[in-house]
């Protein structure tokens, strides 16, 4: 069956109403009948009790777990970060550690920064930051991924451009954590991760969120998780130069095990999407790395903004592309390339709405169709795929037990995510490994959110 995409306007929503009111003009079409079902779950507001499971004491010098949930992978990464810390910094004194997961985006690509909907989940790989107070008014930052390279910068006068390279992400986070607060005597930070850089699994957001939680903890700050996500997004935009949306930082902060999140990137609220045990996800690395600051990301965001401006002038002052229809793309004044970019954004919003319903009703064939459609749109209209990603997605889509596969993340390289039948996941992963089709294959269920650990 081929799913026809709804192209009607999506209203603003932030009060828990389901999205069926957005499906206008297509209610009678049998292929879209499943969109009429109630979601049955209210929107989760952003100001919720912290999901970390840890209680901060007054001095933030000791972290007391209330419900430890450390996986073997998390513990191994924590050990690597601690080993690095102890090899570089003075022993003794109080220290804390924080873990933030990577993520895979099931569907909803390149639309978090155009006011769309996304459906990511956290994965069982991530980054650990170990932090303590330092001295000399400087931050010293080291990573197990770049041994021997300690980045140092003054805590006073931090601004974009002062720190370059991967340390710029940390500088932006530290600046946000210290904003309108007395400067500490210094900071010592060490990082370790089992997330490959440039694979589209949000290693940058895991780096940022783990740093933010660790620095806040050592300073005695208990910041609402949605504010942590916003702080980290600002750091990536202002200090690393990536005009990203909220998705990556939000899922790292707000994820819940066994669930994806359906996130409204305008209201910055979410609903849980349960992932039943009969399906899981295979994440396969194409082996090609991407670099978001190379310009392609910013170019595509600018294309969508130009298309929306043209529609606003010709028809209606819509706030976001998700409020537009494909018919709106026929207005004069839209560059052909900009039209393609906007067509992806409008269609992808509809696919995410449909995917949430498909997952909720366990219609795996439909969910897989939507993932394949998303890949085709990213390949042909948004033009962020590459030969390596296309070959890997095509191979997965042809394998028994795979409902659908698509590139995940910003594209230009990185990973493909496949929705697969749980009973065949190990076999699928092993075939990809043994054939050399992918240098890294991970089978993952949805994991939990970032957390503070004992230092």
Q: Where are the beta strands (DSSP E) in 108-161?
A: 117-133, 138-143, 151-154
Nearest in space to 449 (alpha carbons), one of 258, 272, 253? 253
Q: Encoding tokens for residue 43? A: 């929107």
Contact 83, 143 (CB under 8 A): no
d(CA 85, CA 143): 9
Domains and CATH numbers, the chain: 54-271+448-454 (3.30.230.10)
The pLDDT score that the predictor gives to residue 333 is 93
Q: Which of 216, 248, 285, 369 is catalytic?
A: 248
CA distance 234 to 236: 5
Look up 112 and say whether it is catalytic: no
Neighbours of 424 (CB within 10 A): 16
Rounded Cα–Cα distance for residues 411 and 389 (Å): 8
pLDDT digit string (tens) for the chain, length 455 residues: 333 343 333 333 333 333 332 333 323 333 333 233 332 333 232 222 233 322 222 222 233 232 345 677 788 999 999 999 999 998 878 999 999 999 999 999 999 999 999 999 999 999 999 999 999 999 999 999 988 889 999 999 999 999 999 999 999 999 999 998 999 999 999 999 999 888 889 999 999 999 999 999 999 999 999 999 999 999 999 999 988 889 999 999 999 999 999 999 999 999 999 999 999 999 999 999 866 545 787 899 999 999 999 999 998 788 899 999 999 999 999 999 999 999 999 999 999 999 999 999 999 999 999 999 999 999 999 999 999 999 999 999 999 999 999 999 989 899 999 999 999 999 999 999 999 999 999 999 999 999 999 76
Give the closest residue to 136 by CA, choosing from 151, 165, 150, 156: 156
Sheet containing 415-421, strands listed edge to edge, beginning at the edge strand earlier in sequence:
402-408, 415-421, 279-285, 441-444
């Amino acid at each position: 069956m081929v799913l026809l995409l709804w192209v009607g306007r999506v209203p603003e929503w932030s009060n828990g109403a389901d999205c069926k009111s957005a499906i206008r003009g297509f209610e009678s079409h049998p292929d879209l009948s499943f969109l009429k079902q109630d979601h049955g779950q209210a929107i989760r507001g952003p100001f919720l009790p912290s999901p970390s499971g840890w209680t901060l004491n007054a001095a933030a010098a000791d972290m007391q777990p209330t419900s430890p949930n450390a996986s073997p992978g998390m513990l191994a990464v924590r050990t690597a970060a601690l080993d690095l810390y102890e090899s570089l910094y003075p022993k003794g004194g109080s220290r804390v550690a924080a873990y933030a997961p990577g993520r895979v985006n099931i569907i909803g690509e390149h639309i978090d920064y155009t006011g769309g909907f996304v459906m990511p989940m956290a994965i069982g790989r991530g980054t650990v930051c170990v932090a303590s107070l330092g001295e000399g008014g400087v931050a010293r930052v080291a990573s197990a991924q770049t041994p021997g390279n300690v980045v140092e910068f003054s805590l006073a006068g931090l601004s974009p451009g002062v720190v370059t390279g991967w340390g710029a992400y940390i500088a932006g986070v530290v600046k946000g954590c210290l904003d309108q607060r007395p400067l500490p005597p210094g900071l010592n930070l060490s990082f370790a991760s089992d997330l490959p850089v440039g694979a589209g699994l949000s290693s940058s957001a895991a780096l940022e969120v783990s740093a933010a939680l660790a620095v806040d903890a050592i300073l005695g700050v208990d910041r609402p998780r949605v504010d942590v996500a916003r702080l980290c997004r600002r750091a990536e935009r202002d200090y690393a130069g990536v005009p990203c949306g909220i998705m990556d930082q939000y899922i790292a902060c707000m994820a819940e095990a066994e669930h994806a999140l359906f996130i409204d990137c305008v209201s910055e609220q979410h609903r849980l999407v349960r992932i039943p045990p009969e399906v899981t996800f295979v994440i396969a690395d194409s082996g090609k790395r991407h670099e978001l600051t190379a310009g392609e990301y910013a170019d595509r965001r600018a294309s969508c903004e130009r298309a929306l401006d043209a529609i606003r002038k010709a028809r209606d002052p819509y706030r976001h592309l998700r409020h537009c229809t494909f018919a709106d793309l026929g207005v004069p004044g839209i560059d052909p390339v900009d039209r393609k970019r906007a067509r992806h954004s409008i269609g992808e919003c509809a696919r995410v709405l449909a995917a949430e319903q498909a997952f909720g009703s366990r219609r795996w064939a439909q969910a897989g169709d939507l993932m394949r459609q998303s890949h085709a749109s990213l390949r042909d209209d948004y033009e962020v795929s590459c030969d390596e990603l296309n070959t890997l997605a095509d191979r997965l889509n042809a394998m028994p037990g795979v409902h659908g596969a698509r590139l995940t993340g910003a594209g230009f390289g990185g990973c493909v995510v496949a929705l697969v039948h749980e009973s065949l996941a190990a076999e699928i992963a092993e075939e990809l490994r043994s054939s050399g089709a992918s240098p890294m294959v991970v089978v993952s269920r949805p994991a939990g959110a970032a957390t503070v650990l004992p230092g």
